[in-house]
């Protein structure tokens, strides 16, 4: 049980670590177009992201895939920028209702990229473990729990902004996505690998 809590907490802090806020920025950009009535869809998106994140860790932990760290560190802010830009160009253009569309596959792919960014560190932590699968699952559960917390906070702030302060939904999406872009541009410059 101690091992479960160790990896679960590691997953929680991986997402909720404000000094490494790239994960939070991605979740904000992913969630801001939605409201509480879309909670099932948002939960699916977050879960798809976690699945991609976990798959990347599994593939890396079992040495199936290896990628340059500096390239992954650059691609992570690219995923955040792409999500925020998508919001800018689609804000106010109607609800996103596709069942299993481009958004889900892109979110899965972005989860893989974010997982690869953490894979080297995670491999060091589980080195010497008899079973790598259980720590990966326990870590993934911690990531999922932390992501649900972030999504819930974004939905609450969006509700307050749109209900109490009367922000138009389109304007709210544009403002938050622009703020995310403002945070991401310096990250892109710092991590540019070439």
pLDDT digits (tens, 9 = 90+) for 15-66: 999 888 999 999 999 999 999 999 999 999 999 999 999 999 999 998 899 8
Domain ranges of the chain: 2-14+36-191
d(CA 100, CA 52) in angstroms, rounded, equals 15
> Quick one: tokens of 131?
């079973």
- Per-residue pLDDT of 166-186, as tens digits, reads 999 999 999 999 999 999 999
CA angle 178, 181, 186 (to 5 degrees): 145
Q: What is the DSSP string of 108-165?
A: HHHHHHHHHHHHHHHHHHHTT-S-SHHHHHHHHHHHHHHHHHHHHHHHHHHHIIIIIS
pLDDT score recorded for residue 96: 56
Burial of 45 (0-12, 13-18, 19+ CB in 10 A): buried
Q: What is the pTM of this model?
A: 0.93
């Amino acid at each position: 049980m101690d091992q479960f809590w160790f990896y679960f907490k590691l997953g929680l802090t991986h997402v909720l670590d404000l000094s490494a806020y790239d994960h939070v920025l991605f979740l904000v950009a992913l969630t801001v177009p939605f409201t509480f009535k879309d909670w099932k869809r948002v939960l699916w998106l977050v879960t798809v992201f976690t699945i991609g994140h976990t798959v990347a860790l599994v593939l890396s932990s079992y040495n199936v895939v290896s990628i340059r760290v500096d390239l992954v560190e650059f691609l992570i802010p690219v995923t955040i920028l792409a999500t925020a830009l998508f919001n800018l160009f689609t804000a106010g253009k109607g609800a996103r209702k596709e069942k299993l569309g481009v958004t889900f596959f892109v979110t899965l792919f972005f989860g893989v990229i974010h997982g690869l960014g953490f894979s080297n560190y995670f491999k060091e932590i589980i080195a010497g473990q008899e079973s790598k699968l259980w720590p990966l699952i326990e870590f993934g559960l911690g990531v999922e729990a932390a992501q649900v917390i972030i999504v819930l906070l974004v939905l609450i702030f969006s509700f307050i902004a749109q209900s109490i302060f009367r922000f138009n939904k389109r304007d709210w999406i544009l403002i938050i996505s622009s703020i995310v872009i403002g945070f991401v541009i310096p990250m892109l410059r710092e991590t540019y690998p070439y």
